[in-house]
Chain A
Amino acid sequence: MSLLGFLAAHSKLFDQIGIDALLALSLSLSLRAGQLALAQAAFMGIAAYVGSIGSLVAHWNLAESLIAGPLAAALVAALLALPIGRLQGVFLAIATVAFGEIARIVEINLPITGGAEGLSNIPNDAGTFLIYAMLLACAGGVWALQAGSRSFALAMAATREDEHAARTIGIDVARVRILTLVLGAAIAGIAGVLYAHANFFITPEDFGFTRMEQILVSCVIGGVTSSLGAIFGSAFLTVLPETIRFLHQYREVSIGVILLAVILFAPSGIAGLWKRR
């Protein structure tokens, strides 16, 4: 089979990998700053709904949705960052999970979001090429941000290692936390709009805690301390159950086992989340 034929036959799979990779990239920003902020699925959903409603009601084209959706997600993230700014560790994780649930319930109940059945007839115009172009752009953007200001990567790493010490060497930890959350939300938002426009319909359940778990797993398997790792993690996680057919019935089990194995035997991937004090 030719390469193009192969790509065409598996285009749905490749789309999924690309979108998952965007989500993992988005979460990796928060994790690199040591913040287990579990709101990526909600940001994805907010952007998906804003973008889809825009294209269904106001006849936005995809480009307009791709701007408005992520912007809305980033704005919500900026507002969310204020109250959760002082929360640490597990408490931050729980508060962001609660936020995700609130977002999901709002999506079920707003008159404009189509309830539990969600929205359908979303223009199916986000192709594989666009998804990977956006992935490349986002990964490139994150990379450029670090290259442009080398101190940004260091500020994230120092904040992850020890927030207190990071402050006393002059790092504005609050700013690092807000920036990673907002930037992550924008990237998750891009993933959300692409997801809506590659899948024809969306429901609130697409953006629930199960999705959040899946994003976290692909991120941890790839290694949270690098953006590239997050991308490979999601590719691995999507391809694995497809390639190991005999595991198909037990693919969840194999994913869980791999996650545990990474944590227990290859802990350098999650180095920064280990706290010794």
Chain B
Amino acid sequence: METPIALLSIRGLTLRYGGVTALNSLDLDVARAGVAGLIGPNGAGKTSLLNVITGVAGPHDGTIIFAGESIKREATHHIARRGIARTYQHIRLFANLSIWENVSSGVFAHPRRFTHADASAAIERVGMSERDLSRRAGTLPYGEQRRLEIARALAMQPTLLLLDEPAAGMNPQETADLAALIDNIAADGTSVLLIEHDMTLVRSVCRHVTVLNFGAVIARGDCEDVMADPTVIEAYLGAHRER
């Protein structure tokens, strides 16, 4: 089941906040191509995992190997420069800066010399080139802020893109556009790790999914198989019942 040449390889990852175990001895591989899905009920530890990968949360036990090298305990900005980009569950654009400035911030982690063309290309890919690029990011409608956040990440030309619930708050049309965009990103050779609640989106872009609950993996495998897994159904239903 594990891809032999994984781009990102996580083993035995454990993260504790005080007395709470947010991630419990977690193993995860992200392949060098395609879109990997990561699902699970609220509080399962999905965002904690992204925080650990990007060096924001820690310290933790276990190993994280990215492109053959350990990135454990590395500073967040170094991890970004290695080629890992992310978006946030709650949008974190530079709200007072323009669209252009947001995308131009790809310059800091870009593997080669960053040019205007790189910024334009990123804006183009999320379909925002019609916009007045000097407009403040914070004034954009919600859906476009989501897309701009992806564009900012793409401008870094990452090898791995971590998307944290990108479809949250989007309408069905926007979600469909997003699916096309993610397909397109993966087709260009960028690996994507997608955290998502929207099962329609997960089904349409991921072949392989991993299910987290209480910080541990409870199922993984082919999308349709996993969805039919009784453990997974129970985890989701249980979470609903508690609420």
Contact = CB atoms under 8 A, between A and B. Distances in A.
> Is there direct touching of A and B in the complex, by C-beta distance under 8 Å?
yes
B64 to A, nearest CB: 15
Given A157-B94, A158-B94, A165-B92, A171 B101 contact: no
A162 interface: yes
16 contacts: A150-B107, A151-B108, A157-B97, A164-B56, A167-B56, A167-B75, A168-B54, A168-B56, A169-B85, A169-B156, A170-B77, A171-B105, A173-B77, A272-B96, A274-B96, A276-B95
A138 interface: no
B108 A155 contact: yes
B210 interface: no
Contacts of A107: none
A155 B94 CA distance: 11
Contacts, number: 68
Given A158-B94, A171-B105, 8 more contacts: A161-B94, A164-B56, A165-B88, A168-B76, A168-B86, A169-B109, A169-B152, A271-B96
Contacts of A157: 94, 96-97, 101
Interface residues of B, number: 27
Contact of B108 (A161, A170, A271, A272): A170
A154 B88 CA distance: 21
Contacts of A158: 94, 97, 105
Contacts of A168: 54, 56, 76-77, 80, 85-86
B140 to A, nearest CB: 14
A213 interface: no
Interface in B79-102: 80-81, 85-86, 88, 92-97, 101
B34 interface: no
Interface of A: 150-151, 154-155, 157-158, 161-162, 164-173, 271-272, 274, 276
B104 interface: yes
Nearest to B86: A168
B80 A169 contact: yes
A170 B80 contact: yes
B37 interface: no
B92 A169 contact: no
Contacts of B101: 154, 157
B106 interface: yes
A171 B56 contact: no
B76 A167 contact: yes
Nearest to A157: B97
A157 B136 CA distance: 13
A161 B108 CA distance: 16
A115 B55 CA distance: 49
Contacts of A272: 96
Contacts of B104: 154
Contacts of A151: 107-108
B96 A161 contact: yes
A170 B95 contact: no
B77 A167 contact: yes
A170 B109 CA distance: 5
B81 A164 contact: no
Contact of B94 (A162, A170, A172, A173): A162
- Nearest 7 CB-CB pairs, A to B? A170-B109, A170-B108, A170-B80, A161-B94, A167-B76, A165-B92, A170-B81
Contacts of A150: 107
